[in-house]
Structure 1
Amino acid sequence: MSASPSTMMSHGFKSSKQDFTFGPWKVTIIKNHIMKSKDVERLAEEMSMPSLPEMLFGENVLRIQHTSGYGIEFNATDALKRVNNMEDAVKVACAQEWQESRAESEHSKEVVRPYDWTYTTDYRGTLIGEGMQIQVTKTTERIDLEKLKAREQIMFFDEVLLFEDELHDHGVSMISVKIRVMPTSFFLLMRFFLRVDGVLIRINDTRLYYEAGKGYMLREFSMRESKIADLKNVPPALHTDPNEIAQHLPLKLSECERLALPVTQRQTAASEVL
């Protein structure tokens, strides 16, 4: 196993690319500066969205790739592509009044809110690999979180922010992804956190777990949400801490998937050693 970091200076910001190799796998972490406004405008036009998050890290990537080429990566652009697929949007009082003042036609909602301004996304990662891809199927198997609590040596850890927006001072919308690699496994958590002040808190989590010797990864996706009015027994100080507030939010959706790894002539999953 090996790590090979490299950095470069750009507009006073230290960009970095780091590779960590373990067995047949390589984790690549790329961190760069906030996307320039002209690039943001071009991307917004491509996505047919009126605006994109204030802090968009368009070049930031966390990638897990096998020597055979297949793998999974997490990036901001693909996360934003999933925003338009969410049907509901959060309306603050002023937005509600604004909408009501518009024409009461059947299409008024589409015209007034052509996108979800909270940037809520159900993104779960992007599968990569030409001609050889991970196969995804639903499963009842769950990630053994108790096993993850065991004190095992952490050989590599990093976190990457994909985007963040303060919702015009009405709260925060952000998504980040972090990974830790242990001697016989790796675990990844991507978290979308939304807080609309006085309205609601929402957390969408994607957990990815792989254990050496197994021919598949497990991916769990969950959605948790609560109106702030229903969190009366929770100290307001916890509202800004995703790790603390998550346990107080009711579970709205939970799905688990099995990501089967392609078996190649050069290796079989059963013979892997991290």
Structure 2
Amino acid sequence: MYTFETPISTSSCSSSTTTISQQSTSDHYFLAEAMSAAVAVPQHKLSETPNSRTIEINDWVITASTNPISSASECDALQASLGFPLPEMTFGSNYLSLDHQPSGWKMVFDTHNALKCVKKGELGEGDGGVKVGYADAWLKSRTDPGTSLPLPVTVAAKHYDWTYTAIYPGHHSDTAAEVESPTHPIPWRDADSENPSHSIPLAELTRPDPILFYAEIPLFEDELHDNGSSNLLVRISKRVMPTCVFILSRFTLRVDNVLFRTHDTRIYHSFTSTPPLVIRQLSGWEAPYDRIKRRLPSRNDMTPLTDANFIAKVLTELPVAESQQSGAGTRWRGLRTKVEVALLARDLP
């Protein structure tokens, strides 16, 4: 285990002052802003095992565990628990945990609880059910009055969402993922849109501060029987920085010739917030396949359509009326943006 600490050097400060006095007024303001933006690296501890990394910083213990794809026996046990077939690549032992030690508040992202959010049973209104691109044409070819093609023997439809769409916001370590308990000691509350501290400060996240901790944690991925791709990836980044922690959990769905869908869970905490405040933003978008395809930089290069970042960028740039209202016509309940906050102090009302 290692401890990192960056002291403030008084000699460097005096040197900077001398330099500033020799600059023009505009340069003076520029350097002053640069100095004010500089952030000292707080004391923190990093520890590692072959399959996990942990950082302890400002009352937080954050652990990222990445492991190989689950074994056959592990998959059998998980599938028996869930009651439906698993994605082709299931990382059943992967997780990310955030533990705020003074309050006892703990948030976890893991594969088992993410897959619990996949709809089991017949899909209904709001579930965003999707058919493969050739389904309608295939059915029409067998039901058209002039066709001689026989209807096949029918079988029961799959009793789960074959796209593995998951609106997974993470879960508290003592509650199930699909149930956000209102009786949890520190519940999530709707953010106040008039309160600047209840929104994620994008300017801070794009500032070139040191990155103290980073991990990408795949939870599952499936190629949907060669009809597209479905995957869920948690990133502890975009970073743990000297001033904050930011997490992005992104589900991405591509059903070829049908639609693209993205659901993001963003979690942000500023180490300077008093009392400690965690912000959670849940956002979902979707659009018809061709709508995204038309935004390709080159019509001869289809590879961006397999890039989750490109898909998310295009979806979020579309008008809200398209990407979060009409979507791809599925009426998926995930089409929204919702911001919540949790105050990590048990004695608050």
For normalisation by structure 1, the TM-score amounts to: 0.83
Verify the 8 A CA contact 1:83 1:119 in the aligned structure 2.
Answer: yes
**Counterpart in the other structure of 1:75:** 110
- Pick the aligned partner of 1:126 from 153, 171, 191: 171
Aligned pair in 2 of structure 1 residues 197, 94: CA closer, same or farther (>3 Å)?
closer
Q: Give 1:88 shift.
A: 2.1
**2-structure distance, mates of 1:166, 1:87:** 20
- Pick the aligned partner of 1:221 from 270, 282, 287: 282
SS where residue 119 of structure 2 aligns? Answer: helix
Equivalent residues in 2 for 1:14-29, closer than 5 Å: 16-29=51-64
Aligned pair in 2 of structure 1 residues 74, 42: CA closer, same or farther (>3 Å)?
same
SS where residue 52 of structure 1 aligns? Answer: coil
**2-structure distance, mates of 1:103, 1:193:** 33
**2-structure distance, mates of 1:63, 1:38:** 25
**Counterpart in the other structure of 2:310:** 244
**Counterpart in the other structure of 1:46:** 81
**Alignment-mate amino acid for residue 314 of structure 2:** H
Which has more strand, going by share of residues? Answer: 1
**Counterpart in the other structure of 2:207:** 150
Q: Give 1:143 shift.
A: 1.1
**Alignment-mate amino acid for residue 172 of structure 2:** L
Q: Give 1:149 shift.
A: 1.0
Q: Give 1:6 shift.
A: 1.1
Verify the 8 A CA contact 2:235 2:247 in the aligned structure 1.
Answer: yes
Paired residue total: 251
Q: Give 1:161 shift.
A: 0.6
SS where residue 135 of structure 1 aligns? Answer: coil
**Counterpart in the other structure of 1:211:** 270
Verify the 8 A CA contact 1:71 1:134 in the aligned structure 2.
Answer: no
SS where residue 188 of structure 2 aligns? Answer: strand
Segments of structure 1 that go 5 or more residues without pairing to the other structure are 8-15, 269-274
- Pick the aligned partner of 1:2 from 42, 45, 50: 45
Deviations 1:136-191 (A, max 9, x none): 01113321212211121111111111111111122211111111111111100000
**Alignment-mate amino acid for residue 308 of structure 2:** P
Aligned pair in 2 of structure 1 residues 102, 206: CA closer, same or farther (>3 Å)?
farther
- Does 2:344 match 1:261? yes
Aligned pair in 2 of structure 1 residues 103, 262: CA closer, same or farther (>3 Å)?
farther
Aligned pair in 2 of structure 1 residues 3, 129: CA closer, same or farther (>3 Å)?
farther
Verify the 8 A CA contact 1:64 1:72 in the aligned structure 2.
Answer: yes
**Counterpart in the other structure of 2:291:** 230
Q: Give 1:47 shift.
A: 1.6
Aligned pair in 2 of structure 1 residues 118, 132: CA closer, same or farther (>3 Å)?
closer
SS where residue 257 of structure 2 aligns? Answer: coil
Verify the 8 A CA contact 2:106 2:172 in the aligned structure 1.
Answer: yes
Which is greater in Rg?
A: 2
Verify the 8 A CA contact 1:167 1:173 in the aligned structure 2.
Answer: yes
Aligned pair in 2 of structure 1 residues 138, 132: CA closer, same or farther (>3 Å)?
closer
SS where residue 255 of structure 1 aligns? Answer: strand
**Counterpart in the other structure of 2:241:** 182
Verify the 8 A CA contact 2:133 2:258 in the aligned structure 1.
Answer: no
Q: Give 1:263 shift.
A: 4.0
**Counterpart in the other structure of 1:66:** 100
**2-structure distance, mates of 1:64, 1:198:** 39
Q: Give 1:80 shift.
A: 0.6
Q: Give 1:245 shift.
A: 2.2
SS where residue 96 of structure 2 aligns? Answer: strand
- Pick the aligned partner of 2:159 from 114, 121, 131: 114
Q: Give 1:221 shift.
A: 0.7
Deviations 1:186-217 (A, max 9, x none): 10000001111221111100100000132211
Verify the 8 A CA contact 2:247 2:267 in the aligned structure 1.
Answer: yes
Q: Give 1:95 shift.
A: 4.9
RMSD across aligned positions (CA) = 2.6
**Counterpart in the other structure of 2:91:** 57
**Alignment-mate amino acid for residue 244 of structure 1:** F
- Does 2:253 match 1:194? yes
Q: Give 1:220 shift.
A: 0.4
SS where residue 231 of structure 1 aligns? Answer: helix
